[in-house]
Chain A
Amino acid sequence: MTTLLLIEQVLNGLQSGIMLFLMAAGLTLIFGVMGLINLAHGSLYMIGAFAAAAVAAATGSFLLALFASLVAAAAAGVVIELAVIRRLYDRDHLDQVLATFALILILSEGTRWLFGSFPLYLDVPSVLAGPVTLPGGIAYPAYRLVIILVGLAVAAGLFLLIGRTRIGIQIRAGEADREMIAALGVNISALYTLVFALGAALAGLAGALVGAIQSVQVGMGEPVLILAFVVIVIGGIGSIKGALVGALLVGLTDTLGGVLLPLALGGIMDASSATSIGSAIASMLIYVLMAVVLIFRPTGLYGTA
């Protein structure tokens, strides 16, 4: 285990954490503002990735592909919100879970119908295809580094939007008391549609960015969705700051656990069982982390009851 490898893994963990934050921010906003559990958030991630792959294949431009992912996911978000989601705000969590579960079936199968069952590939833009040498002589893929930077920029933008703008004030006010801000003349249903579209666009962007590292396929959103839920539960539902902290914790735990646990176990048992037991436990590690957090803080790190 060299320091170089460790630093590389930390960067990978950061990158996956930042991507998780883009997913989790939308989920937690939608839950915080509207009290809605949206299981179909992962489908918006998938839609973003497919839109990006399709546009990149047609035009060859990665920037256009990214733009397409934002537009497609936001548009899908608006359609879904208008057609289904707005009927669910007043329902209990069970109805929300079920209706959005149904949406997953519809959106996944719809995508399979449009694009077929085979995975698509989205190429990393050629400028970013090579490695970058970081201070200290670490060669790291440029694309992954850019993902970290883009993700951080989006996160900063989101914090400014929520914390400093008029829309952000309305969103936070809606979280606190929806009747009051409706009485103050804010068009609450338009605000909800907007927040939903914003969350969808963030998920779509994450899907497109990650789509160039992994393959783009139906069902790619579900594992990420679960991770994003773990993130917001650890962070505290409704808290953007909690989502950021939770995302980085989960990203780092997930990435480093897979590398470090087998090595650590290798000290006390033979190599092959250390690898199999280590990777089996590592795959459970973030759920263990979540359980531990909830045992000590039942509403998450930054949550309020």
Chain B
Amino acid sequence: MLPERMLNIIAFLALPLVAVVAVVVDEPFTITLATRAAILALAAVGLNLALGLGGLVSLGHAVFFGLGGYAMGILASHAQSFTPLDLGFVMFDGTKSMPIIWLVAILVSALAALVIGLLALRTAGVYFIMITLAFGQMFYYFTISWPAYGGEDGLSIYVRNSFPGVNTLDPIQFFGLVFAVLAAVLWLMGRIETSPFGLAIGAARQNAVRVETVGLSPFRLRLVAFVISGAVTGLAGALFADLNRFISPTMFSWQMSGEFIVFIVLGGIGRLYGPVVGACLFVLLEHMLSGVSDFWLIYLGAVLLLVVLFARGGVIGALSKEGAAHD
């Protein structure tokens, strides 16, 4: 049994270690796999702020993931075709620059999270799960029946977008960039969790009435958490789109939202590194099981079921023997 801090460090360093080893033995596919895991982890780290800390079971976080993806897809496709983006009242040029795309992805998904949060946070419990799911479906069906950016077929970007000083087409450099973003966000999340704001959100999850008595508004706390959470998942969406150089309505699908929750629970809910461990494990299982059988989702389902039924606290909880991090 290892203390949790040790496990976190191991989990955090495992990804770059795998990527570096893959460079040495010249296995570019493994680097891509590690990049994929890091991006999915980032999306789940975003959700974990709402779900793990705030207790808000959002089954619609794919909205933000998809918005980030489409922010990238729309900007890059306009840059690719040299046509300005006409919003009716203003015209924009497209761009292939990652920092600008990230900023747009964060802003757009934060704005969407604000609107969705304002409406969805009026409800609680199972109604909240369902209304977030419904918002996800709204975006999913809208992109499917909206032909401008590929509709159901999705949209390809032929060349990965650029980042100053980095050759993004080189797998290991792109991995490095993604991992740096993940590390920065994890650091930020760690700070948020221990800040007065983070403590207040955690308290609102445990007992909203008491938080209200102290003079804080649980609604506003949850809304802010939801917006930050959505923005981080949106950033992950933009990176994911860049990894695949492809966007499609699948990014908005409710199965995507379900997978983010799976990462968190698999790794350990309410733990900073839970989503990272969960996402890595998921990508690893996906990769290994799909080699074993065409029907590997059966095994994945079985593993997941066993974790939910018998391993509360997820993998980190099971390994560190410290049980669930909270309630």
Contact = CB atoms under 8 A, between A and B. Distances in A.
Interface stretch (A7-15, A150-158, A159-167, A275-283): A275-283
A93 B119 CA distance: 20
> Number of contact residues on B: which range applies?
35 or more
A104 B295 contact: no
A299 interface: yes
B298 A93 contact: no
Nearest to A292: B119
B249 to A, nearest CB: 11
Interface of B: 51, 57, 59, 119, 122-127, 129-131, 133-135, 137-138, 141-142, 144-147, 254-255, 258, 261-262, 265, 269, 295-298, 300-302, 304-305, 308-309
A230 B145 CA distance: 20
A79 interface: no
B126 A98 contact: no
B301 A295 contact: no
A209 interface: no
Contacts of A233: 127, 130-131, 134
Contact of B298 (A109, A237, A291): A109
Contacts of A99: 304-305, 308-309
A97 interface: yes
A99 B304 CA distance: 7
A229 to B, nearest CB: 5
A89 interface: no
A300 B123 CA distance: 10
A116 to B, nearest CB: 11
Interface of A: 31, 37, 84, 87, 93-95, 97-99, 101-106, 108-110, 112-113, 222, 226, 229-230, 233, 237, 276, 279-284, 287-288, 290-291, 294-295, 298-300
A23 B135 CA distance: 21
Given A98-B304, A99-B304, A237-B127, 9 more contacts: A84-B305, A87-B309, A93-B129, A97-B129, A109-B297, A230-B134, A280-B142, A294-B122, A295-B119
Contact of B141 (A102, A104, A229, A284): A284
Given A93-B129, A109-B298, A283 B122 contact: no
Nearest to B118: A295
Given A95-B308, A113-B298, A283-B144, A288 B138 contact: yes
Contacts of B296: 109
Q: Which of A87, A97, A105, A283 has the most CB of B within 10 A?
A: A105
A114 to B, nearest CB: 10
Nearest to A300: B127
Contact of A284 (B130, B138, B298): B138
A101 B302 CA distance: 11
B137 A113 contact: no
B298 A105 contact: yes
A298 B298 CA distance: 37
Given A101-B262, A295-B119, A287 B137 contact: yes
Contacts of A222: 254-255
A167 B131 CA distance: 32
B133 A226 contact: yes
Nearest to B139: A284
Given A226-B137, A290-B131, A294-B119, A106 B301 contact: yes
Contacts of A103: 301, 305
A110 to B, nearest CB: 6
B126 A279 contact: no
Given A98-B304, A288-B138, A37 B309 contact: no
Contacts of B141: 280, 283-284, 287
Nearest to B266: A98
A105 B146 contact: no
Nearest to B143: A280
Contacts of B308: 95, 98-99, 102
12 contacts: A31-B126, A94-B261, A94-B269, A99-B308, A105-B301, A106-B297, A109-B295, A109-B297, A222-B254, A280-B146, A287-B141, A294-B119
Nearest to A278: B145
A239 to B, nearest CB: 13
Contacts of B125: 93
Contacts of A237: 126-127
Q: Which of A98, A279, A281, A288 has the most CB of B within 10 A?
A: A98
Closest 3 CB pairs of A and B: A105-B301, A283-B141, A106-B301
A237 B254 CA distance: 21
A98 B135 CA distance: 19
A290 B136 CA distance: 13
Contacts of A287: 134-135, 137-138, 141
Given A106-B301, A226-B137, A229-B133, A93 B265 contact: no
Contacts of A101: 258, 261-262, 304
Contacts of B135: 287, 291
B133 A105 contact: no
B129 A102 contact: no
Nearest to B145: A280
A162 B49 CA distance: 42
A105 B127 contact: no
B44 to A, nearest CB: 13
A276 B57 contact: no
Given A93-B126, A226-B133, A112 B305 contact: no
A287 B60 CA distance: 13
A105 B142 contact: no
